[in-house]
Amino acid sequence: MTSLQATEAAEVMERTRKRERSVFRKLIKNRLAAFGLFVIALLFVTAIFAPVIATHPPNQMDVTKSLLGPGEAGHLLGTDSYGRDIFSRLIYGSRVSLIVGIAAVVFGAFFGSFLGVIAGYFGGKFDSIIMRIMDGLFAFPFILLAITLMTVLGQGLVNAIIAIGIANIPGFARVVRGQVLNVKESEYIAVTKSLGAKHSRIIFQHVLPNSFAPLIVYATMSVAGAIISEASLSFLGLGIQPPTASWGSMLQEGRNFLVLNPHMATFSGLAILITVLGINLFGDGLRDALDPKMKL
Amino acid sequence: MGKYIIKRIINMIPTLLIVAIIVFLITRMIPGDPAAVMLGPQASVQEVEKLTEELGLNKPLHIQFFDYIGNLLQGDFGNSLTYNQPIADLIMDRFPNTVILAISALIIAIMIGVPAGIISATRQNSILDYTVTTISLIGVSMPVFWLGVMLVLYFSVNLGWFPSTGMGSMDEGFFTFIRHLILPSLTLATIPMSQFARITRSSMLEVVSQDYVKTARSKGVREFIVICKHAFKNAFTPLLTVMGLQISSLLGGAVLTETIFSWPGMGLLIIDAIEKRDFVVVQGTVLFIALIFVVVNLVVDILYKVVNPKINYSSNKGGTS
């Protein structure tokens, strides 16, 4: 590497670092985004330290103590119809939400980006075939596609991840394809090409890194959507298998005891709402910090 | 314009075909023998064989597919085992109910969301603006099934104002009909309403600072007219896009709302059919909803062009239908 290239590389790195710092500063300054970040951090802490935070084992039943109100007999938020501690189940439920939310989006982002890059970069037949299929998938309302897939795959955590992940593919393919089309037109890609760079090198070193900002914003927002979808599936009895605590299935159980014990349904829904709100706020802030003109 | 519409309709055909292929393939993904899964564990071997024969599952996959497409083209969605009815009839029974719910929700969403967005934008940074922004932010993050359950809890269980389930028929009087409609349509309206408010606010903010709006003001045009006629007209296009997207999720996302309120629409039909393991009904209804979506999208795109004739679609190479 010549010294000129070395200084150039150092400059680029310095610029990237500065940009990263300013993005983080902007995020913290934005009070709503900071609140979102706080909620996300809280979610991670809860999920990781669930055994420490929970006051009872989440699946421990005690029929003599069923449907207790908040604060009764040492149960912070009361108990459900099987006498299980609602607070502990909510704490453990964060694991399901977080795992499904992130894994489904990673799944969708991986395959979606792959298809989007191929469609956008190579264009032509690849583009029309891939995007036609994506249009076809887009014709299904998100939740309906997930429901149909779950019906076929059957209940379970992994299947929920696959179903919601597949439903996420067309969105990522579209976003990445759009970005690739933008980047592809730029002069420096033309220069790199004329220097004889391989397709894989251009894609991985130049095209993808430049599509990163919108991709990360879109992924953040998608996690919120995936968490709602998991809760919806579990609410419909198509998601996580009982007795594993999921916020959606807790809400479904609580619905049957709405008159006797309304707080069961109330708290699980609040957990979903606050989590999703936090992620959305963070996503909004991230978009504004990275590029306020981004259309997502 | 006519040329454009014809081109779009022709473009729609491959999408429709792909939709049919996807639905066909998904239902063929059922692990094991679909006929056995549908009949349940208590079914005899003869029964399973008979159903396999009836559904044509013993034929090669490509023959099954051509049969399927051939039947679809004749409007035949197959027959339901559990309902003992052609699926097309089942769907047609339920479709109007879903449409009633979706349209009521859309009306509520537009009537509240759009004015809220306009007011929010014209009084930027006022308390009113903050209220609208906060509520719409919570609204877009709302798990609708939870909202539905909470509305039932407060307005049906505690206050007894509205019935918690079912759909009132017109025969029982208009009032009964409306009373049944209010909670489900409010639930379904929440997310689109919040999105309309957000998108109206942001596109109005972009427009109100532009020169032509200032010119209109300086000419002495009344503020109300400036906002409604001059500004909103140009802020309308992004709103239309979001509306188009929302109509589809109103028809499909109604699955949850319909389940909570036992609203006899297509969503409830799907969930019922899943419980009964009647996959043929699931397949047919899902396909129908997707077809509706494609058609609605086409209509929205054409409307888009009517509202905003300057948009040049020829530069838009596929991808966004």
Domain ranges of chain B: 88-307
Instruction: Give the best residue of A140, A158, A172 to mutate against chain B (max B CB count within 10 A).
Output: A140
Predicted confidence (pLDDT) per residue in A127-155, tens digit: 889 988 998 888 888 888 898 889 888 88
Residue owning tokens 């339920």 = B94
Report pLDDT for B252: 63
Q: Closest to B22 (Cβ–Cβ): which among A137, A143, A266?
A: A137
Q: Is residue A6 part of a domain?
A: no
Interface of B with A in 47-76 (CB under 8 A): none
Nearest CA in chain B to A125: B318
Predicted confidence (pLDDT) per residue in B221-257, tens digit: 777 777 777 778 777 777 887 887 788 778 765 889 9
Question: At B38, is the pLDDT very low, low, confident or very high (cuts 50, 70, 90)?
Answer: confident
Structural domain range at position A73: 19-290
Report pLDDT for B216: 77
pLDDT more than 70, % of chain A: 92
Mean pLDDT of B272-300: 85
Task: Report how far residue B39's alpha carbon sits from residue B35's, in angstroms, rounded to the nearest whole number.
Answer: 6
Q: Six-digit token pair at A50?
A: 């669930």
Mean pLDDT of B162-168: 77
Q: Closest to B289 (Cβ–Cβ): which among A141, A231, A232?
A: A141
CB contact under 8 A, B31 and A154: yes
Q: Which of A157-161, A256-260, B34-38 has the lowest mean pLDDT?
A: B34-38
Q: Is residue A134 part of a domain?
A: yes
Mean pLDDT of A231-253: 89
Predicted confidence (pLDDT) per residue in B48-107, tens digit: 888 777 777 777 778 888 888 888 888 788 888 778 888 888 899 899 999 999 999 999
Question: At A295, is the pLDDT very low, low, confident or very high (cuts 50, 70, 90)?
Answer: low
Give Cα B294 to chain centroid, integer Å.
11
Are residues A143 and B253 in contact, defined by beta-carbon separation less than 8 angstroms?
yes
Nearest CA in chain B to A130: B319
Encoded amino acid at B221, one letter: V
Nearest CA in chain B to A258: B153
Q: Six-digit token pair at B260?
A: 């909570």
Predicted confidence (pLDDT) per residue in B210-222, tens digit: 777 777 777 777 7
> For the domain that residue A86 is a member of, what is the CATH number?
1.10.3720.10
Encoded amino acid at A141, one letter: P
Task: Report how far residue B260's alpha carbon sits from residue B156's, in angstroms, rounded to the nearest whole number.
Answer: 13
Closest C-alpha to B196, from B258, B120, B255: B120
Report pLDDT for B311: 56
Q: Is residue A2 part of a domain?
A: no
Q: Does the beta carbon of B19 lie under 8 angstroms from any beta carbon of chain A?
A: yes
- Give the distance from residue B219's alpha carbon to the nearest chain A alpha carbon, in angstroms: 32
Helices assigned H by DSSP within chain A: 3-29, 31-48, 50-53, 86-122, 124-138, 142-153, 157-184, 187-194, 199-201, 208-210, 212-235, 247-255, 263-290
How big is chain A by its Cα radius of gyration, in Å? Answer: 23
Mean pLDDT of B255-271: 90
Report pLDDT for B167: 77
Most confident range, picked from A277-281, B78-82, B120-124: A277-281
Closest C-alpha to B194, from B145, B132, B120, B127: B132
Q: Taking 70 as the threshold, does the pLDDT of residue B310 lie above it?
A: no
Q: Taking 90 as the threshold, does the pLDDT of residue A39 lie above it?
A: yes
Most confident range, picked from A40-54, A78-92, B250-264: A40-54
Q: Is residue A4 part of a domain?
A: no
Residue A232 vs residue B301, higher pLDDT: A232
Q: Which of A156-165, B118-127, B304-313 has the lowest mean pLDDT?
A: B304-313
Question: At A38, is the pLDDT very low, low, confident or very high (cuts 50, 70, 90)?
Answer: very high
Count up the domains in chain A and report the number: 1
**Interface ipTM:** 0.84
Query: Under CATH, domain B88-307 is a member of which superfamily?
Result: MetI-like (1.10.3720.10)
Question: At B316, is the pLDDT very low, low, confident or very high (cuts 50, 70, 90)?
Answer: very low
CB contact under 8 A, B289 and A273: no
Sign of CA dihedral A17, A224, A146, A172: negative
- The pTM score is 0.86
Q: Does the beta carbon of B311 lie under 8 angstroms from any beta carbon of chain A?
A: no
Q: Taking 70 as the threshold, does the pLDDT of residue A294 lie above it?
A: no
Please give the backbone phi and psi of residue A121, each rounded to the nearest 5 degrees, phi first. -75, -50
Q: Is residue A256 part of a domain?
A: yes
Q: Is residue A295 part of a domain?
A: no
Instruction: Give the best residue of A138, A181, A273, A279 to mutate against chain B (max B CB count within 10 A).
Output: A138
Q: Closest to A139 (Cβ–Cβ): which among B19, B140, B249?
A: B19
